[in-house]
Structure 1
C-alpha cells in the first residue's frame, strides 16, 4: 500500500477489503479521499485506470 497512489492526483489511497484468502486481497476497492474516486480490486488485481478509461 505504501507504493500505491491515486493515478489522477497522486494522493493516498484507503483500502477497503471485501474478501481475502490468507494475506491476499481478492476483492475490494482503493479509495482516494482527495478525488472522491474508487478503484476496484477484482481477482486480486487493482484496476488503477482513470474512470473514463475503464470498461
Structure 2
C-alpha cells in the first residue's frame, strides 16, 4: 500500500483519519475501534470485512 493514501483515505463509517498497522497490514480507526484489512496491497474499506478491536 502506498503511504500517500493515508493522507486521503478515511474511515468509511465515521470519516475520521486512519492509521496503518504495518505488522498486521491493517488500517485502523481508533474512533470506531475497527481494523480494515489490506489484501494484495489494496485497502478493503468495507465494514463487513473489518474486525473489531480494543486498544
* CA-based RMSD: 1.3
Moved over 4 A (4+): none
Query: How many residue pairs get matched?
Result: 44
TM-score (norm 1): 0.72
2:9 to 4, 7, 11: 4
TM-score (norm 2): 0.72
Whose strand proportion is higher, 1 or 2? 1
The answer to whether the aligner puts 1:43 opposite 2:40 as a matched pair is yes
User: Greater Rg, structure 1 or structure 2?
Assistant: 1
Unmatched segments (≥5 aa) in structure 2 = 1-5, 50-55
Unmatched segments (≥5 aa) in structure 1 = 19-26
Whose helix proportion is higher, 1 or 2? 2
| CA distance in structure 1 between the partners assigned to 2:47 and 2:20 by the alignment | 17
